[in-house]
Amino acid sequence: MLYREAGDFKTSYVKDSQTFPIKADRMAYFALLAVAFGVVPFLINDYWANAVFVPFLIYAIAAIGLNILTGYCGQVSLGTGGFMAVGAYAVYKLMTTFPDVPILIHVLLAGGVTAIVGVLFGLPSLRIKGFYLAVATLAAQFFLVWLFNKVPWFYNYSASGQITAPERTMFGIAVTGASTPAWAKYLFCLVILVALAWLARNLTRGMIGRKWMAIRDMDIAAEIIGVNPLTTKLSAFAVSSFFIGVSGALFFAVYLGAAEVGEAFGINKSFLILFMVIIGGLGSMFGSFAGAAFLVLLPVLLKNVLVGGLGWPTDLAAHIELMIVGGLIIVFLILEPHGLAQLWRVAKEKLRLWPFPH
């Protein structure tokens, strides 16, 4: 009744092909942005920023990045953790070498560095496909982690090999370092996320996105109709790595503040982000957000309910939490194999027809 497209007439092609063609969707989107920018920063405290919002925003960037590569271009990658590490170490080196440049520029440059590394490790994709490629990208993961652990230049020769983000500011407000206010962290990540999501959305529905999808659906057929697999696959690696590099830079500089490569950017991170993308829905912008939310928020939520709400011992709660997350993944899959995004799509479809389903 409330959610429908009847009466929502489009008079131009531009309007017809906009991201949210349905008015209610558009309004909801703007309302969400308004809340995110106008309300949340005033309410947010350290706990909500550090436990929920900031990791969610950063993981969403990484998930969008991986979704471009895996969901849109069909190249399964397990090197995400390694690429995030590239972003983190790039931003660290830049921050400490050029302390006076605004941090935003460093973060974007770190993304650029990661894009170059990503293209390099994307080269095997021209030969190798499917799960074989996934395992091949693990080579990148392990090699990069080893490299950052081994070469002292990357961590400025500190005694233990940890990197620590010094305080850097934007417009005179600390964005990194310990004294950063919660809202500043949140807003900084939010602005970058919104900008990058907008970029990704428009890339994926433009020519380059169509090329990616052609390669994903069948690379030989795509080649025959004139899509160059070399530039297409490598551009996907570059764009995806840029996103992942930015998220890695934020993850280290804004969220963690100090990092150790094997622990913060290990193989688990690669799997985690791949899980987000698959659970959220491959080839869907909404899916990247939904997947990140699912895997960031659900454990926190479960922990709070089981330990805080029901008063269980923490170890039992942690084990049961694993079982619930695993069980939910399976249940969602059986209900809807194409991820949360598809579930959302089906729900909207039903809502549009409601209350007259026929």
Partner 1 sequence: MPDQLLYAIEVSLNGLMAGIMYSLVALGFVLIFKASGIFNYAQGVLALFAALTLVGLQQGQIPFSHVINAIFGTDLHSFGWTLPSVVAIALTALVMVGMAWLIERLVLKHLVNQEPIILFMATIGLAYFLEGLGDVMWGADIKKLDVGLPQGINETIDAVTFNAFGYGFFIDNLDIIAAFVAAALVLSLTLFSQYTKYGRALRAVADDHQAALSVGISLRFIWVLVWSIAGFVALVAGIMWGSKSGVQFSLSLIALKALPVLMLGGFTSIPGAIVGGLIIGMGEKLFEFFAGPLIGGATENWFAYVLALLFLVFRPQGLFGEKIIERV
Partner 2 sequence: MKKTFTMLAAAAIAATTAAPALADLVVPNLSYRTGPFAAGGIPYADGFNDYFTLLNERDGGIGGEKVVVPECETAYNTEKGVECYEATKGQGALVYNPLSTGITYQLIPKVSADGIPLYTPGYGRTSAANGKIFQWVFNYPANYWDGASVAVKHLLDQNGGNLEGKKIALLYHNSAYGKEPIRTLQELSKKHGFTLSEIPIDSPGQEQKSQWLQVRRDKPDYVLFWGWGVMNSVAVQEAANIRFPMENFIGIWWSGSENDVLPAGDGANGYKALTFNGVGGDYPVYADLKKYVFDAGKASGAGDQSGSVIYSRGMYAAVIISEAIRKAQELAGTPKVNAAQVRDGFEALEITDARLEELGLKGFGQAFAASCGDHGGAGGAMVQQWDAAAKKWNLISGFIEPDHEVLDPLVAEDSAAFAAENNIAERCN
Q: List interacting residues with partner 2 (CB under 8 A).
A: 45-47, 50-51, 55, 96, 146, 149, 158-162, 164, 166-167, 177-179, 255-260, 262-264, 300-301, 303-305, 307-309, 313-315, 317-319, 322
Kindly tell me which of 95 and 246 has the beta carbon lying closer to partner 2.
Answer: 95
* Residue with the two structure tokens 């990704």: 200
- 264: partner contacted, choices partner 1, partner 2, none (Cβ within 5-8 A by kind): partner 2
Distance CA 237, CA 242 (A): 8
Q: Phi/psi at 301 (nearest 5 deg)?
A: -60, -50
- 326: partner contacted, choices partner 2, partner 1, none (Cβ within 5-8 A by kind): partner 1
Dig out the tokens for 145 from the structure: 């982690």
Q: What is the smallest separation between the CB atom of 134 and partner 1, expressed in angstroms?
A: 8
**Applying CB under 8 A, which residues contact partner 1?**
76, 124, 127-132, 135-136, 138-139, 141-143, 145-146, 149-150, 218, 220-221, 224, 267, 271, 275, 278-279, 282, 312-313, 315-316, 319-330, 333-334, 337-338
Kindly tell me which of 157 and 356 has the beta carbon lying closer to partner 1.
Answer: 157
Which of 236, 240, 261 minimizes the C-alpha distance to 88? Answer: 261
Do residues 73 and 236 lie in contact, with contact meaning Cβ atoms separated by under 8 Å?
yes
* Residue 258 zone, left/alpha/beta (φ > 0; ψ -120 to 50; rest): beta
- 337: partner contacted, choices partner 1, partner 2, none (Cβ within 5-8 A by kind): partner 1
Kindly tell me which of 245 and 281 has the beta carbon lying closer to partner 1.
Answer: 281
Q: What is the smallest separation between the CB atom of 147 and partner 2, expressed in angstroms?
A: 12
Q: What is the smallest separation between the CB atom of 207 and partner 1, expressed in angstroms?
A: 22
Q: What is the smallest separation between the CB atom of 279 and partner 1, expressed in angstroms?
A: 7
Give pairs for 16-21: CB < 8 Å, separation 24+.
17/205, 19/201
Q: Phi/psi at 170 (nearest 5 deg)?
A: -125, 130
Do residues 277 and 62 lie in contact, with contact meaning Cβ atoms separated by under 8 Å?
no
The identity of residue 147, as a single letter, is L
Dig out the tokens for 269 from the structure: 């991170």
- 256: partner contacted, choices partner 1, partner 2, none (Cβ within 5-8 A by kind): partner 2
Q: What is the smallest separation between the CB atom of 130 and partner 1, expressed in angstroms?
A: 8
Q: What is the smallest separation between the CB atom of 93 and partner 2, expressed in angstroms?
A: 14
Distance CA 273, CA 83 (A): 12
Q: What is the smallest separation between the CB atom of 342 and partner 2, expressed in angstroms?
A: 16
- 305: partner contacted, choices partner 2, partner 1, none (Cβ within 5-8 A by kind): partner 2
Kindly tell me which of 108 and 307 has the beta carbon lying closer to partner 2.
Answer: 307
Distance, first Cα to last Cα, the chain: 14
Residues 6+ apart with CB under 8 A from 343: 332, 335, 336
- 286: partner contacted, choices partner 2, partner 1, none (Cβ within 5-8 A by kind): none
Which of 250, 237, 240 minimizes the C-alpha distance to 87? Answer: 250
Kindly tell me which of 246 and 261 has the beta carbon lying closer to partner 2.
Answer: 261
Dig out the tokens for 176 from the structure: 């990194």
